[in-house]
Structure 1
């Protein structure tokens, strides 16, 4: 298992529950997930050759990178070399590199915003007049909204290109025209068996508007509110994508927009489970354990019993976060929200320094909530920052 971060612990624990011998690799030799593993190796999840060498020496039966894009290509590379269950390496590279993905979409007739990948500011400057404003500027290979900006003037181009390149390992960025949402932004997770999308559970996503980085997903809720016709349209587009890429048996996390004409734009279809307890919430809502299926898929076990199960009840996840830097003292829940909290976990302890939410790395915690009605969920999640308050000491 590549990665032992807090967010990856659910998969490590699940693998142990299922009776597997679990080996965790992480560049952080203090990663919290290692204490749940049978063995730990201080190896970067992006170091393909080192992971391959280790995998050969241990004679592994399967390889997984739960939740993180960073190790997805390593999984496919090692699996191909060792003839283990996985997906085509070239397809994983397309899905995890934004410029390759946009080019693939355009070449295959998908709805796609005008999008071009660049290596230098000068290349982008020469092209910039061809874009309709506003545009998004993104590193081609980063996750968690790191290095992402939205601009509507050329005056910010140099600053935001520099920002994007700072978060790109391959030192490339993409500029693409912004797609306005019709209805909520579509998140959620899915799963394919033998390349066919057999399960999907779309969510309504809300982002960190009002923060210095307004592109982080901090709330997801179920069920997805758009009509069944739109859901079927999204499903068909994902299915077509997976077929063209010759994908196999795999989990996916979705980042999708619908425009005012109900055109489907697949912003990202990441070949991994979603973060922020997406699979945990989906299990509550549908009874389907996507973590279990992900582990079974990695070992070549049968997943053919999986099918779409519609969510029951009203569920949400919330990324507990801070808008200021300071020392964490504790957390207070308003009486109106206490009964809705199903479970939560904090990634920090009293006395730890916490920071304003600007990327996936500043999250304070995560929670799952359940509500009696859709209206109750909408109202309380709209006011969640008033109902859940962090006690923070200024520094």
Structure 2
């Protein structure tokens, strides 16, 4: 689907949180009239856009009505899975550039996604579906351990648990199900090996790999991401196998335009797919790390593709970038004493604290529990990682030891 070249571009962005701000600012820099839609009347994005709509990003009919009111010629969202259904639904109704509504539904449901990848013959973990609210424990007791539990329709590491013993099943299933709209959870093979994400831009139906991101997580039990580095330090042959699998996953899910964020683990049997997001990678990976490590403005290209302009992919200018997520706790966060000083350290481009002072921080169970982030640019991945670690260790964060 494409837009008429005679229409003035007008962009509707679903979501007004901090993760959507790069798209709002980029659209403004391009001179494109922009509207923001969010259920939060005080979201940051509303004050940066030309127009604001108070509605849920997960309500397709409301999004369609707002798109018509704004006379949008393109609809998009950054870094969030579920609103992609609304993007696709409204775009189909208005004949705008987007993946199909069917593709959006499949790629935002972990069960439907893994079934589509399986049908295409792509490497993936074994899996079993159960209802975590009314679990039949006899269905899971014979499964090989360790294994992973995850909600079928959640994101941001919410509800992800590693099962190591039979005694964990009742509590872990109930916990994971609290993050699932339907209560359904997937039990999957626990894959061991380096984890990466692949940042992809799909132009004129063809997926292009912009970057492979090396990941660090907390590990057992919740696997919350703590650091991302570009470019990847994996062997060239492994990177090529990862690129091939990532592009094939986009084709299997019928992702024909826009961006994709593909998560892969390099096991001893080779790369296996974890998940595919039909949108730009979150956690500032696509909006910040990709342009810093490649010189390619992924946000601008995604906007132009959403507007039906079919942009040309520029040449990459290789450097390196790292984002390290700040966490302290459990306890009550009071303040950072030397924020300005840390922002002047080598390679540091941004130090941001997400949570307000006096916020009570618990155990790191999801990406929402992180205190903030540090973004660094360097000439090599190793240097970027080291500078980010040094900056994090230099932060003088005052905490009061208090638990939730």
| TM-score normalised by the chain length of structure 2 | 0.89
Inter-partner Cα distance in structure 2 for 1:310 and 1:240: 25
Match of 2:20, SS state, is helix
> 5 Å matches for 1:153-302?
153-181=165-193, 184-209=194-219, 214-261=222-269, 263-279=270-286, 280-302=288-310
> 5 Å matches for 1:290-329?
290-303=298-311, 305-306=312-313, 309=316, 311-312=318-319, 314-329=320-335
The residue that corresponds to 1:143 in the other structure is 155
Which of 127, 145, 148 lines up with 2:139 in the alignment?
Answer: 127
What is the deviation of 1:154? 2.4
The residue that corresponds to 1:95 in the other structure is 107
Whether the 8 Å contact between 2:117 and 2:253 is mirrored in structure 1 is: no
| TM-score normalised by the chain length of structure 1 | 0.90
Inter-partner Cα distance in structure 2 for 1:307 and 1:372: 20
What is the deviation of 1:195? 2.6
Whether the 8 Å contact between 2:350 and 2:375 is mirrored in structure 1 is: yes
The residue that corresponds to 1:64 in the other structure is 76
Which of 358, 362, 365 lines up with 2:369 in the alignment?
Answer: 362
RMSD: 2.3
The residue that corresponds to 1:44 in the other structure is 56
The residue that corresponds to 1:330 in the other structure is 336
What is the deviation of 1:170? 2.6
Worse-matched range after superposition: 323-332 or 16-25: 323-332
Query: Which consecutive segments of 4 or more residues in structure 1 shift more than 3 A?
Result: 120-124, 331-337, 371-385
Worse-matched range after superposition: 353-362 or 77-86: 353-362
The residue that corresponds to 2:8 in the other structure is none
Deviations 1:333-368 (A, max 9, x none): 68798123122333245x341423432323332221
The number of equivalent residue pairs is 387
The residue that corresponds to 2:398 in the other structure is 391
Deviations 1:20-60 (A, max 9, x none): 11111111111111111111122111011111122223321
The residue that corresponds to 1:77 in the other structure is 89
What is the deviation of 1:289? 0.4
Structure 1, unpaired ranges of 5+: none
The residue that corresponds to 1:371 in the other structure is 378
Inter-partner Cα distance in structure 2 for 1:124 and 1:11: 45
Whether the 8 Å contact between 2:38 and 2:56 is mirrored in structure 1 is: yes
Inter-partner Cα distance in structure 2 for 1:336 and 1:91: 42
Match of 2:113, SS state, is helix
